[in-house]
Amino acid sequence: MDFFARIGQRIKRMDTVLCIGLDPAFSKADIEKQGKTGCARIALERNLRIIEATSPYAAAFKPNIAFYEALGEPGMATLRETLHSIPDDIPVIIDAKRGDISNTAEAYAQALFGELGADAVTLSPYMGLDTLEPFLQWEGRGIFVLCRTSNPGAGFLQDIAVNDRPLYLEVVKQCAALPNEVGLVVAGNDLEALRSVRQAAPSAWFLSPGIGAQGGQADQAFALGARDDGRGILVVVARAIADAPAPSEAARGLRDVMRRARDVRTTAEKALRADIEHKELSALKRDFVHALLSTGCFRLGEFILKSGKKSPFYIDLRRLVADPQAMKIAGRAYALLASECRYDSIAGIPAAGLPLATVASLETQKPMIWPRMPVKEHGTGNRIEGSYAAGECALLLDDLITTGASKIEAIDILRSEGLRVDDLVVLIERGKEGRLDMERAGVRLHAFMHVLELFDVLRQSGEIDEQQYRKLVEFTTNT
């Protein structure tokens, strides 16, 4: 499996983005006193204790190879034993920061991927992106390219302007152009860099060190570095866990801090999206009402209905076809309603529903069919026009609904041909009877606007006064 797919699965399954560093540091004096073998033994005991205590909270482990190389062969033996002790379902990233010409890079790749069995490594791009190629040839392995590092002097080279942007953002651009997916090392203690790189690389994976001893905060790093899906980042913590009295508690606490940061961000984003959607919907409804007025689809006066009753208003949505812009607005309204439904095709009800179904089909990119009403007695005798298959679901569409009579006739035709009809979408709903008829037919009704809401928009926009509004509402609620 691809490394980034594997790390994504681990994060999803364990709900953690914590990457735990295994960096057993010994001073020169420690090594002289304990000896390399003694230090290596202490390092192994410490690593095994950390791995056992923190595995439930780890998305990955990251040993820095320098601390093991410093102890010579005993240190490398400790590294191999450490890697062997990490559970198979937890990916391992060896922090090596390698980067060299082709044949040397091939040797580094063999050493890290072949001999040590790392799942991923960190690499330096300073000698050029061709130095990455030997590592990218290893199937199923991952690389993280140094982009913005966590050390205080990082800006000495990384802030140099290249093509009107800092060098570290140029690295982002060049890595994005590679044929293989690569991750980026982006300092967790540099919030501006996290924000800038995430903006430049919305889908990239970040490896973000610098938390704890280097001043970074896990929740802030997550908030600015995570992708929109709450993943795409591994927040690295080493000393704050290894030096804690209870590494398990420290790891769990860090995991939970980042979970809360995710939940806060998710809640804020949902509220923002809801606000935006509400404003967009309100604007679309205002545009729709304006289209009704400009095309003469809605008129005030005294009109004799089919039932013989006198109505103070009249709605005729067939006039929408006179204005292409009005039809476009209708298409957007239907697409919004359709987004709440599962269906294979749009079934327009003749005759008023056919041009509207056409614009809805274009807006949603779904095929259109329509039932013959009345049934065709000549030619092929088709009951339904268009391409469909039994078992598929048709989204029924009409201009408005007052009662369900014509809708039920269309539903019966569609269902008789083996199609499922679960939902009906209309632009305007009048009264209550149509909704009740649809419930009895086992069909969910989705109306873009109830006629009472239409009256309210007209009043707010000044198209009708308070007296007219009350008259319209009274007529509608009493019929």
Q: Are 105 and 133 in contact (CB under 8 A)?
A: yes
The Cα 460–Cα 286 span in angstroms is: 10
Structure tokens at 466: 């308070």
> Which H, E and C letters describe 116-141, residue by residue?
CCCCEEEECCCCCHHHHHHHHCCCCC
Cα end-to-end span (Å), the chain: 64
3-state secondary structure of 247: helix
DSSP bridge partners of 313: 300
The Cα 67–Cα 23 span in angstroms is: 6
Task: Determine the angle formed by the axes of helices 466-477 and 451-460, rounding to 10 degrees.
Answer: 180
Q: Are 307 and 467 in contact (CB under 8 A)?
A: no
Q: Is the dihedral of CA 207, 212, 213, 214 positive or negative?
A: positive
User: Which of 171, 168, 176, 127 shows the shortest CA–CA distance to 150?
Assistant: 168
The Cα 224–Cα 192 span in angstroms is: 9
Other beta carbons within 10 Å of 194 = 25
Helix extents (H) in 295-380: 324-338, 353-364
Count how many Cα atoms sit within 13 Å of the Cα of residue 318 in the half-sphere of its side chain: 6
The residues annotated with a catalytic role in the active site are 97
3-state secondary structure of 82: helix
Instruction: Match 């009740």 to its residue by tokens.
Output: 436
The Cα 170–Cα 126 span in angstroms is: 12
DSSP bridge partners of 178: none
The Cα 113–Cα 285 span in angstroms is: 59
Count how many Cα atoms sit within 13 Å of the Cα of residue 413 in the half-sphere of its side chain: 23
Q: Are 23 and 228 in contact (CB under 8 A)?
A: no
